[in-house]
Structure 1
Amino acid sequence: MKNYVTLLFFVFSFSLFSQNNKLETGEYSSTTPAAESLKMILSDNNKFHLSILSGTYEVVNDSVYFKTSYDDTPKFVLEYSNPNPKSDKITIDLGENSFYRFYNVYVGIQKTSDTAIEYKTIKELLNITDDFDYERKQLSFEIDKSSFIYFVEENLYKESVIEKYQIPNNVSQIKVTYYSNDLGRLNLKGFYDQTNKKLIVAEGKIPLKFSLNKDVKKDVLKEKPIEKRVEKDWTYPGKKEINNYDTAVDTAVAVVDTSYVPSYIFKLKIDSNLKDALKQAKSHKNQFLVVINNPNSKTSLSSFNSFIKNYESEAGYSMYDGYVPENDRFIFYFTSKKDKETLKNLGVLNNETLLVLNSEGQKLYAGNVDNYHDSFTYYNSSSTYSELIGINAKLKSDAMISNKKATLEDVEKQLLEVSKLEFLHSNEEITDKPIVNEVAVDSTFSVYGFDIFRQRKNVYQLKTKQDVLKEKWSKILENRLLEKEVNFTTVDIILREFNYDGFNKALYNSSEPIVIPTDLQSINYINKHYKIITNTKFNDTVATNYDYYNLNYTLIGVLDRNSDLSNNPSKEYQTKVLKSYKDLLTITNNNLLVKNSYMNALKRSEFFEEFLVQYEDFFNTIVKENTNLIENLDNAYKQNNEAGIGWNDFKYEFANNANEAAWTVVEKNKDVNWVKKAIFWSETSLKIEKDNSYYLDTLAQLYYKNGEKEKAIATELKAIENIKDNSTEQTEQYKIVLEKMKTGAY
């Protein structure tokens, strides 16, 4: 730790004395990852003070008890995202680090609130065999979907820190930043010498003595986990002992080569007036104009110039050999009195001290200026830029939809552009702070916790109502359905909507729980051009190449959103959903995956007669009379197992479907012909799963309907004998059926 502090003193000294301009005095916070606790205080007399530890204190008589800020701030910062919605795993990304940095870190997984916590070391999770692997590399591992995750920073001689985080359902990746700092573990105590005006502080034998200079502001405490505790000699069942190494140092932070000079010197163009800055922005469509409108406050021109110099230096180091356009994201301008009229034309109010404008001079943000140094520093500019891209997309969408001269094709292109913006799909899901009392704290707009865009009232808000946009989208689909040629922009938008990452999710953070009219229009469009779509390689046009199986799976997923069609009072609605199924079934030449889903939809609708017709066709396609049933199922499994399920699951699913179809006849159809067919289906289910009590009950009632009373009674008795887990309710139900059969009251 001593080397770390010494080197930081050297680096800061070098940076300070290389400045020619006068620096603004005050307290500066470090923005270097893993060194955020460092504070640099610059005094008016050209002196600086470096603070590496802060917190709160309590005075009891002559004694002073210190509590470091690390006691209340999370050791682990989590960022949730969902790049792989279909995955049943969660990727834990520790970033580019050395394993040695995590030698004393444990991860606990808790599937639900009622299950036990399973702890493992990072070494076990990463499957590392070399204890002395100091190389920096990308560290990640996978866990099963779970409700809670625990991170433990173990201390063998003092208290260990345990932090608990709740995992939302729609998360497939968690990025973890670990803030380790041994100084935070100091157990400082002291007393104040009134006579000599000295503060004596110690942990151990050698005390530190302090004389009063002036007050320093306390740090603001960060958000807390839902649960945090400290335990001495922390352990868990089965935990292995580890060697006691010294605390690791993140070499990427500590080692700084001050002799390095980039070969490319980056310079920002700072205009002399706001009009010219607006012109510059207009000619750079991919940049945003950041205007600091605060010339008379402590956020002075000199502070702005210092910020610009740092930004240029950081950008130069990043670009290294030459200009990289995509890394040049912002135009900066500091206003003066001569800009008064231009600001008035922009509708800027007196208290709007920070403006962010797009290339057309439209306001994306207008509010407080306090922390632009953090939000727009070069190394944070990527996340800030992503947020602004999202805000600008909402503004452009409003403008496009409200523009009466805009064509439907223009609107469609804008919808596709919005759909492709990854940030818009993730900003409402990212939680960069732990949760308190089981509820996510402040999981609002900013990815990295800067306050600038958390002032939501100052950010441009989407004005278009969702119903208005749905009408536009419906009109687009209506027109496209009249065209003979396929439009892949339309296809792209449809497929993104179907996978919950389209414009509705991006703009409104919403998804439809049931099939809506535009979904049916969209499916009709896909069905119309099905063969072309499944035979086209999309490259970067859409997120996934939609081959035969992927497209079927996606369309079925949409049509199957309705848990029960019979709950919808509109028979017309049911008919439309089922027609889309029938069309897809025809196009796919009775694909079994589609057929199975179609039958399930029919079973849940009022059209049970059609369900029986479809099931009979399905059953006869697989099962041939006077042939071996298992061989028939095996052939069907090999030819049609698109979902990739195991052989046993395939077999038992077939048996269950046969029983359900037979039971439909028991409940809803008294036709003798259907009863005889259902008996065959039921008997087949019992060949696969012998003595299944549910299947036996179905068969017994079918026998009775077919006039085979004695056979029915014997089968119902067998059903009762084979009831598992001694279910009283099931036994009572079957006994009632048996009694009715015996008395003729069935």
Structure 2
Amino acid sequence: MKKLLFIIICAVQLIQAQNTIVGEYVSTTKNSNGIKLFFQEDGTYQITVFSGKYKVINDSIVFENDNKQNSYHLLFENGKKYSEKITIKVEPINYYSIFQSDYLGIQKTETSEIEYQPLKDYFNKNDIENYLQNAYKIAEAVKENDEINTEKTETKITFEIDRIHALYFVKKSDYNSVIEKYIVPRNVNVIDVTFENSYLANLNLTGKINKANNVLFLTDGKSPLNFTKKSALIQPNYISPTTKSSEKNWSYPGMKNNEEYYDYDDSTAVVVDTAYAVSENRYEFKSKVENSLKEALLNIKKDTAKYLMVYYNLKDQRASKNFNTFVNNYDENASYNMYEGYNSEYDTYNFYLATNSDEAFFKKNNIKEKSVVIINKDGKIIATSTKSLDDVANILNYDNSFLINKLKETENAMALSNSVTNKKTSIPELTKSLNKNYKDIYTERFYFANTTIDTAVVMDDYQNNDENNDEKIAVDQAVEAAVAAYDTNDFTFYKTEVSEKLLAEKLNTIFEYYNSKNILNENLVAILLGEISGNHISFDLFKNENNGYNKQEIKYINYILKYNKEANIKNKIAKVINNVIAYKSENPDSATYTAIAHSLIAYSDNDLTILNSVLNLYNQKEKASEAANQLVDLYYSTLVNNKPLFENIDEQYIKSNATADYKTDWISFKNQINSLFNAQAWDIFELNKTKDFERAIKWSEVSNIIEKENPYSLDTLGQLYFAVGRKSEAIMIQTKAVALAKEMKISSEEFENALNNMKK
């Protein structure tokens, strides 16, 4: 409310300052970002805190939030000279609260691991204390209406880091953490960071229309609000007061404060049954409880999206009561998540309490008494727990999504083992299975016990009630064998092992099959991309001890580049390969890798990220080389042709973001283009490659059109103009560079020295 009053006061001041203020105003006050104030021509005003576009789909409304913004706003400040250090400036809204949810990750190279730590840990504690004291003085000065010298007021605190490839800013949340990646160009020496702390940016609205009474149900996922059209409201004929006034600290003789009104021992107090009030109109979910194991297995086979959870505890006389309490607890929790009606997302299990007739089955499958057993649609035991039902209930209520993911991963592992060990699996089927399941089974999330798929629990015979085929039911040694070696403390999951050697042989078989026949298989392309990029964490199968790593990797890349269909997929493929080969200038096969890198430019349709990477590859060997200059010429021709410049830039921007893992904004994209042209032009000037000066001027001119009023780009153009004898133009450009540098409070000494030299 105080913030809204502040805005209104500002508006009144505006009214006094000018005759007309009709229009829209947006609050820039911290924590109130996005509050809008409208002045109408009829002398009325409106204040809104939330706006955007909407679509009506059947009886639902989909809202877009205009207040959605990045969690962090970064400004890059370029330096004339390359520096091994980068200064990061931050203006915290509140150090002790805001920094608690902010983290910063550093990636030194494109392929290196990201190193995270809390953002507050980067700062010197003394700097923090000085900043907070300064902030307190400013607040007190504002409170006392004292004048503040803004030029001497430091609103940022800083720290330095070594030069890196990218920064990862993380806004951590218990529900959905936001991760923003920023690639740092080589000429950036200072990064200015501002936090976006508008609560409006995090609101997600959905709505329902009740056509019968024109009511809109609007909710942010927590508590629904009801709205009725103004035209549909029946307004009572209220009596107006005779007089109306206001008075601060109103009171009357003998007035009690609030605490004196409450007598907590008053037995006549009305007690509201809140449980009843909440649940009266709530959807009540009831899960499916099976009558027999045979019937349960048949039902789970039909409903493939669910699992069967069995409680096996024959000796406990209270088992039935405890089981019913457990199921009721699950149903109650699911009902809370289904307050608008049934939602299959929260209905993931059928339940069954084992009876004496099931004892033989559980003993043969080595299941201990007092166990909770989870069975999948194929009738296989994939997880067990010896925890109490109360403990399992807590898992289902508070960590069920993790459990479901683990169950799915376990099923993927079993499916992969089936396809790899089955000699009858065809090459296309095996390739499809590897692509679908390999990325899940071979990660650090899995432990492999010394068991094989042959030990899986197969229940088809039990379902058919064929007593004579009991020996065909494989005893599940995997569950028991893995207990000692792998225990989540909650559930033990079925483990399977496919040896590295066998999987490598299978992968090589399918690769040679498709490669020799020159057949493009998209599943194989996906597998090989995982191999070369290291997404298959445990091991890279194509590596061997005879330095054949490069040869095999190059073979894989050449096969991948046979993909020649959708442009956006090609662009994404190019970026994956580019990340793999970007740092191989010292590799024994560097010439081959460089040729591949160069081919990626055309393959990606001149994508800026790819071209920049190849350009850096050339410049590492020789700055401003002809090979590098030709690449800059290539991108120049992509932007400067018979179409308008900014139309071409916009096409490149849309295309680049369509395949990027982390989207970049329009200003940053333009900055990257400017950096490409300006850096290459400066290298030519600095190395005094006079034959290329006109070429560099062409690049520098377009860089200053793309990003206006950049003192570094202007300095490059001014010095190039002077070098080719265009003195008056050089002085005009350099004068502007000096003025801008001073205005932006960056070092202007080098710019001024160059200007003084031009004026001699």
TM-score scaled to structure 2, two decimals? 0.46
TM-score scaled to structure 1, two decimals? 0.46
